[in-house]
Chains A and B, each alone.
Chain A
């Protein structure tokens, strides 16, 4: 055949293939009786994108609770009105499968006109959830379903499970492609008692077994990466897979999945399997010995034992999931802490020590996790700390309170000095060891701690931090940081400023201390020879620890009087929490005054809202729709940000990656074959992937649709540097910043009770990085700018339902440059931009 003809034939084939890729055959469209914008507006939804509107409708109306919505519900009423109109000039929205299938198999009403399909589907819970679940399935899967309509009966019987787990069903060439396949096919077949090669039977068994818990496990495994899929399912073989399923069945017994398909417990199998660190062989990373963990998890594994001596997925699920939520969280935190903290597998006497340390993190979490995040924790330090807590716990009354305050206050000083980088990790460890060596004798502990502060603590601190001034001044400097001798100078709005977070922090602490009216450290330390003097030192130390986290010196928190004096370490007896004083505190309000109950450590958590700053308090913002836990998580991130860890090189790397990500998204229209790669790398989730495919098929002008900055960053090939991340506590218990979890926005649905949405919300930091990079502004300023920006976004970008992270993220990415400039200008007032002599006469800004 002539070369030209071959080329022509090849070109035709490619075009046909591309066209086929662009023309899904099992996904159609259905008309709305109004423009998408009008329907969205009627419901108060932010997006008028026809491809995503149906998803927003389902999430808005059917996320919470079970049962059908009623006409008295304003949103439901608005939907009925909007979709019940008699117009024919509205937009079209995607319809998985064909109108005929919907009429005959799903609605059982052959007479439903196309124009009434949307009304029938979305105003009934079951059909809305079916739509939602089917929407997420890919085209080959839908094509198979379309030609095997009997499987729809299974979906109809389980609309909730379809909505929740349909996204994980993949059918190719008449076979279900199971998570972890091909190695996992036999295991899933065994679990379902039906083979993937018979999709109808397999799907029926998947959905009908164990009240949806098998489908829950299936979906959880489907979202894992390959190594975690092997760990979860294949490594232990069928017996252990059955054990894992048994643990999933027993977990959260009050949760009926079908009734609340878009809800997830705070600790569930998906979170557990994703969070466990694996070693190079795909097993649990050390310490993994069962002998160790059986001493921690005092529930004997009732689902059999792993083959070897290490724990496996099933064992961990039994230990962690098969417990009440607070216990589950404690055990998971302890396990993941151990994995972070230890490289080698403990054996013998080392194991005994390890057991004690892991028990310590369960019993004294605020202490151990603070030592970990401050970088001074190692096996020996943790053990010493735990031993010291035991002697403090034996004290009673005022002596107990004094000892708690002095001990925890001193640890808090080390923690903050490490944050401020005035203590190196080694110096911090030495200071901690010296502190833990002090016996908390009531008559002498005050004097001992005073001496420790003046000698061990300050001696270990950076020379420049502790040079000159009173004891209190030296300590406040050690907590604030040291000015960088080569700090950049910024020209801003015709003036020159030195970037000096240490100076700003020192000034802030001084102002707060002045407003507190408590005795100075010098006065308190000078009186410690008498027992009462120890109490004065304790009071002053507590005041300083609070000062670190009380935020704005002009804020309302300072009108709270002696809030540190009202701090309660012990919970009332009837609550039965005997170690309250070692757990992260909670805030209490009441006639007795605002106060915190719990540990004096890690106060940035309970006081997190004070870390945010509202630049405009002249208008009442709309009612927040984010859950309280998510808002607190976002504020907690702000409280942990550290200007000394935010580097210009990371700033630039982020900006460059965002640009690359944007370029890849822009190229989607020309390269539709890249959708799968883009979706996988960005983790936009199945629903938005299907939306892109639908838009491409229709030749929409902007087929890609919205991408968050985090997704663009992933597309740009970069992970968020930890210092620019979010608080990890909702995921793995660490009181530190880490990159958001590698999950899709869809995976935070139903998790607002545990702050998971806040955990994933990093877009403000990324937006600031982008703008700061363009304006060549030092990254060290991002921390203070973020405190304002986060409050601004929380006030102004309202999610339209609890889990609407997309709206929040897009709000962050749309922060105008002008607004960000206002944030920077605010930093010249009392922030880290400190004026340098006279105003510049240069062009400046």
Chain B
């Protein structure tokens, strides 16, 4: 019996050796491990891969990940993984990884995920509010508890279903105007933006957009401070200003998971190149739980319509608008935004029945029995086309 087992083992080992030899003769290969073929994807997914043999990963210089024919990230460090937001709904996707070896060769793999022809979706609406509480001298008030807050929706008191005062994940989209008029101010903007991004918590997810009449995604939900800084260095000024488009895109990029969502937009001018309309942006902002901060500089100080837009969007979302004459003093504005973000409370409640009617519903939040000021979104609009 032992001899038979030994013989079988020898045969198995020989077969394995032959397989290894054959694989070595073929060269290394690449395999995407997430997502796998035929899976269903929705929301954020981590793209991962392995090489075969495993040690071949040492020969990889960079990996470019493509989703649906578009480059979503280029990764220069092992394990060469990348996060990608598939968007709402379950649809088919094509994920492709291209590993560039130091030899110049390429290894490629691709997977196709599945779609559903019909999905019955149940929209569970939750109204999520971030609130900043200050006293009558503008000082932030911390340490409040759930029972310190009262919420009124269209004059109807509401019961909070969720409350958080600390360690609340933040997802932030920062959009910097890189139109040609920004040439002089951009060095200061870069410096202030790097400082700001560096001061965020390590766990905060940041997407950095540069925009002129196009929108460029320079860092995608990155939690790596070094990557964020590198992305800022890639900002370069030319072209027009598609301000409305970038506002829409920023709100669309924010995930649907619970947590704080914020958009920061820096621009020096009125919109000149957007496909989106002003009304479309305002409506989208009303339906989003993102807190919008806007910083206007340079020509923005003379553009009354831009200032009006900035104030309107920030007010309706519970954010703030800043106007800075001097690009060298942008740090102050970024600092105030950072402080705001550090002192937010997160409140949630289920909207009253009938509120998912696409109409505007007014929210009023009271804290400390009314003795504090609360800055929060002014209302919401639930339009099952595209808002939350």
Residues of A in contact with B (beta carbons under 8 Å apart)? 493-495, 517, 556-561, 563, 589, 591-594, 614-620, 622-624, 818, 822, 825-831, 835, 845
Q: Which residues of chain A are near B245, meaning CB under 8 Å?
A: 556, 559
Q: Which residues of chain B are near A593, meaning CB under 8 Å?
A: 277-279
Instruction: Name the residue of chain A whose CB is nearest to the CB of B283.
Output: A561
B272 close to A (CB within 8 Å): yes
Q: Is the CB of A493 within 8 A of B275?
A: no
Q: Return B54 CB to nearest CB of chain A, in Å.
A: 21
B98 close to A (CB within 8 Å): yes
Q: Which residues of chain B are near A827, meaning CB under 8 Å?
A: 69
Q: Could you tell me the distance between the alpha carbons of A623 and B181 in the complex, rounded to whole angstroms? A: 13
* Contacts beyond the supplied A617-B71, A619-B218: 15 A-B pairs with Cβ under 8 Å: A493-B109, A556-B242, A557-B275, A558-B275, A559-B248, A560-B280, A561-B277, A561-B280, A594-B276, A617-B217, A618-B72, A618-B216, A622-B236, A822-B66, A826-B69
Q: Which residues of chain B are near A825, meaning CB under 8 Å?
A: 66, 69, 96, 108, 110
Q: Could you tell me the distance between the alpha carbons of A619 and B217 in the complex, rounded to whole angstroms? A: 7
Tell me which of B69, B93, B210, B273 contacts A620 (CB under 8 A): B210
With A560-B277, A829-B94: A616-B71 Cβ-Cβ less than 8 Å: yes
Q: Could you tell me the distance between the alpha carbons of A350 and B266 in the complex, rounded to whole angstroms? A: 64
Instruction: Name the residue of chain B whose CB is nearest to the CB of A826.
Output: B69
With A561-B280, A826-B66: A623-B106 Cβ-Cβ less than 8 Å: no
Q: Is the CB of A559 within 8 A of B280?
A: yes
Instruction: Name the residue of chain A whose CB is nearest to the CB of B183.
Output: A623
Q: Could you tell me the distance between the alpha carbons of A172 and B106 in the complex, rounded to whole angstroms? A: 58
B194-225 vs A, CB cutoff 8 Å, 1 = contact: the mask equals: 00000000000000001010111110100000
A sample of 10 inter-chain contacts (CB < 8 A) reads: A556-B215, A560-B280, A561-B276, A593-B277, A594-B275, A617-B70, A620-B218, A623-B237, A829-B69, A830-B68
Q: Could you tell me the distance between the alpha carbons of A835 and B385 in the complex, rounded to whole angstroms? A: 30
Q: Could you tell me the distance between the alpha carbons of A495 and B109 in the complex, rounded to whole angstroms? A: 11
Top 3 A-B residue pairs of the complex, sorted by shortest distance between their CB atoms: A826-B69, A623-B238, A560-B275
Q: Is the CB of B69 within 8 A of A615?
A: yes
B242-263 vs A, CB cutoff 8 Å, 1 = contact: the mask equals: 1001001100000000000000
B275-297 vs A, CB cutoff 8 Å, 1 = contact: the mask equals: 11111100000000000000000
Q: Could you tell me the distance between the alpha carbons of A76 and B385 in the complex, rounded to whole angstroms? A: 56
Q: Which residues of chain A are near B358, meaning CB under 8 Å?
A: none
Tell me which of B110, B212, B234 contacts A495 (CB under 8 A): B110
B161 close to A (CB within 8 Å): no
Q: Could you tell me the distance between the alpha carbons of A648 and B155 in the complex, rounded to whole angstroms? A: 70
Prevailing SS type, chain B contact patch: mixed
Q: Is the CB of B210 within 8 A of A556?
A: no
B74 close to A (CB within 8 Å): yes
B93-124 vs A, CB cutoff 8 Å, 1 = contact: the mask equals: 11010100000001011101000000000000
Q: Which residues of chain A are near B279, meaning CB under 8 Å?
A: 561, 593
Residues of B in contact with A (beta carbons under 8 Å apart)? 66, 68-74, 93-94, 96, 98, 106, 108-110, 112, 178, 180, 210, 212, 214-218, 220, 234-239, 242, 245, 248-249, 271-280, 305, 385
Instruction: Name the residue of chain A whose CB is nearest to the CB of B211.
Output: A620
Instruction: Name the residue of chain A whose CB is nearest to the CB of B69.
Output: A826
Q: Which residues of chain B are near A594, meaning CB under 8 Å?
A: 274-277
Q: Which residues of chain A are near B180, meaning CB under 8 Å?
A: 623
With A619-B234, A825-B110: A589-B273 Cβ-Cβ less than 8 Å: yes
Q: Which residues of chain B are near A619, meaning CB under 8 Å?
A: 216, 218, 234
With A620-B234, A624-B238, A822-B98: A563-B275 Cβ-Cβ less than 8 Å: yes
Instruction: Name the residue of chain A whose CB is nearest to the CB of B242.
Output: A556
Q: Is the CB of B271 within 8 A of A589?
A: yes
Tell me which of A563, A589, A818 contacts B106 (CB under 8 A): A818
Q: Could you tell me the distance between the alpha carbons of A615 and B218 in the complex, rounded to whole angstroms? A: 14
Q: Is the CB of A556 within 8 A of B249?
A: yes
Q: Return B272 CB to nearest CB of chain A, in Å.
A: 6
Q: Return A628 CB to nearest CB of chain B, in Å.
A: 11
With A495-B110, A561-B277, A594-B275: A623-B236 Cβ-Cβ less than 8 Å: yes
Q: Which residues of chain B are near A614, meaning CB under 8 Å?
A: 214
Q: Is the CB of A829 within 8 A of B217?
A: no
Prevailing SS type, chain A contact patch: loop
Q: Could you tell me the distance between the alpha carbons of A343 and B177 in the complex, rounded to whole angstroms? A: 56
Q: Is the CB of B276 within 8 A of A559?
A: yes
Q: Is the CB of A589 within 8 A of B276?
A: no
Q: Is the CB of A559 within 8 A of B236?
A: no
Q: Return A546 CB to nearest CB of chain B, in Å.
A: 12
Q: Could you tell me the distance between the alpha carbons of A797 and B342 in the complex, rounded to whole angstroms? A: 44
Q: Return A829 CB to nearest CB of chain B, in Å.
A: 4
Q: Could you tell me the distance between the alpha carbons of A57 and B272 in the complex, rounded to whole angstroms? A: 35
Instruction: Name the residue of chain B whose CB is nearest to the CB of A595.
Output: B277
Q: Is the CB of B74 within 8 A of A556?
A: no
Q: Which residues of chain A are near B275, meaning CB under 8 Å?
A: 556-560, 563, 594
Q: Which residues of chain B are near A826, meaning CB under 8 Å?
A: 66, 69-70
Q: Which residues of chain A are near B277, meaning CB under 8 Å?
A: 560-561, 592-594
Q: Which residues of chain B are near A822, meaning CB under 8 Å?
A: 66, 98
Instruction: Name the residue of chain A whose CB is nearest to the CB of B212.
Output: A620
Q: Return B387 CB to nearest CB of chain A, in Å.
A: 13
Q: Return B219 CB to nearest CB of chain A, in Å.
A: 9
Q: Which residues of chain B are near A829, meaning CB under 8 Å?
A: 68-69, 93-94
Q: Is the CB of B239 within 8 A of A591?
A: no
Instruction: Name the residue of chain A whose CB is nearest to the CB of B210.
Output: A620
Tell me which of A556, A592, A623 contacts B276 (CB under 8 A): A556
Q: Is the CB of A830 within 8 A of B69?
A: yes
Q: Could you tell me the distance between the alpha carbons of A556 and B215 in the complex, rounded to whole angstroms? A: 9
Q: Return B243 CB to nearest CB of chain A, in Å.
A: 11
Instruction: Name the residue of chain B whose CB is nearest to the CB of A550.
Output: B275
Q: Could you tell me the distance between the alpha carbons of A619 and B72 in the complex, rounded to whole angstroms? A: 11
Q: Is the CB of B271 within 8 A of A617?
A: no
Q: Could you tell me the distance between the alpha carbons of A558 and B280 in the complex, rounded to whole angstroms? A: 11
Q: Which residues of chain B are near A589, meaning CB under 8 Å?
A: 271-274
Q: Is the CB of B73 within 8 A of A618?
A: yes
With A559-B245, A589-B274: A620-B178 Cβ-Cβ less than 8 Å: yes
Q: Could you tell me the distance between the alpha carbons of A159 and B212 in the complex, rounded to whole angstroms? A: 41
Instruction: Name the residue of chain A whose CB is nearest to the CB of B67.
Output: A829
Q: Which residues of chain B are near A591, meaning CB under 8 Å?
A: 271, 278, 305
Q: Is the CB of B215 within 8 A of A617?
A: yes
Q: Which residues of chain B are near A592, meaning CB under 8 Å?
A: 277
Q: Is the CB of B74 within 8 A of A618?
A: yes
Q: Which residues of chain B are near A561, meaning CB under 8 Å?
A: 276-277, 279-280
Instruction: Name the residue of chain B whose CB is nearest to the CB of A625.
Output: B238
Q: Could you tell me the distance between the alpha carbons of A494 and B275 in the complex, rounded to whole angstroms? A: 39
Q: Return B62 CB to nearest CB of chain A, in Å.
A: 13
Q: Return B45 CB to nearest CB of chain A, in Å.
A: 16
Q: Could you tell me the distance between the alpha carbons of A592 and B276 in the complex, rounded to whole angstroms? A: 10
Q: Could you tell me the distance between the alpha carbons of A616 and B67 in the complex, rounded to whole angstroms? A: 11
Q: Return B112 CB to nearest CB of chain A, in Å.
A: 7
Q: Could you tell me the distance between the alpha carbons of A591 and B218 in the complex, rounded to whole angstroms? A: 28
Instruction: Name the residue of chain A whose CB is nearest to the CB of B180.
Output: A623
Among B94, B271, B277, the most chain A Cβ lie within 10 Å of the Cβ of B277
Q: Which residues of chain B are near A618, meaning CB under 8 Å?
A: 71-74, 216-218, 220
With A623-B238, A822-B98: A617-B216 Cβ-Cβ less than 8 Å: yes
Q: Return A795 CB to nearest CB of chain B, in Å.
A: 10
Instruction: Name the residue of chain A whose CB is nearest to the CB of B247.
Output: A559
Instruction: Name the residue of chain B whose CB is nearest to the CB of A828.
Output: B94
Q: Could you tell me the distance between the alpha carbons of A711 and B11 in the complex, rounded to whole angstroms? A: 63
Q: Which residues of chain A are near B74, meaning CB under 8 Å?
A: 618
Among B93, B98, B220, the most chain A Cβ lie within 10 Å of the Cβ of B98
Q: Is the CB of B216 within 8 A of A835?
A: no
Q: Return A557 CB to nearest CB of chain B, in Å.
A: 5
Q: Return B300 CB to nearest CB of chain A, in Å.
A: 15
Q: Which residues of chain A are near B112, meaning CB under 8 Å?
A: 835
Instruction: Name the residue of chain B whose CB is nearest to the CB of A835.
Output: B112
Among A557, A591, A615, the most chain B Cβ lie within 10 Å of the Cβ of A591
Q: Which residues of chain A are near B72, meaning CB under 8 Å?
A: 618
Q: Which residues of chain B are near A495, meaning CB under 8 Å?
A: 110
Q: Which residues of chain A are near B66, meaning CB under 8 Å?
A: 615, 822, 825-826
